[in-house]
Amino acid sequence: MEYHIINSGIREIDHANPFKRKQIPIFHGFRKFYTKQLVDSKLNPEIREMLLGHKIGLAGVYYKPTVDEMIQEYYKTVNLLTINEENRLRRKVEILEIEKSRIEQLESSIRKLEEKYNQKNNQILKNEQSKGLFI
């Protein structure tokens, strides 16, 4: 596994001292990263501990979340855990499409209101012209 981690660029070899211990062991580093992302996502603390494989002590007797609840909590942190930008970009595109459709609806409403305003204004001008009140 370490061979793949070194080849991927996650860990570099100190060629001067290849047996030097690293500050954080490889797998512990991934676990630490995972935990930090769960905390940053403000997950339910009990579910967070369960996702980490920890027992939650006495709380586990009284609180037993369903699989769906745990999945919903996990989904809160997917973007932070995903290294590939695809998921974040897909979500951004969805948000932009929603905003675009909302803007198009607002523009359509504005055009309709402008048409109504112009029609009413033209009616008022015609009435004033017919009565000879036009200045």
What digits encode the pLDDT tens for the residues 92-127? 999 999 999 999 999 999 999 999 999 999 998 888
Burial string for 42-60 (b: 16+ CB within 10 Å, else e) reads ebbebbbbbbeeeebeeee
For residue 4, what are the CA distances in angstroms to 27, 84, 113, 121? 13, 18, 63, 74
CA 55 from centre of chain: 29
Q: Is the pTM of this model over 0.85?
A: no
Which residues lie below 8 Å from residue 128, measured CB to CB, with a gap of 6+? 134
Domain ranges of the chain: 1-83, 88-135
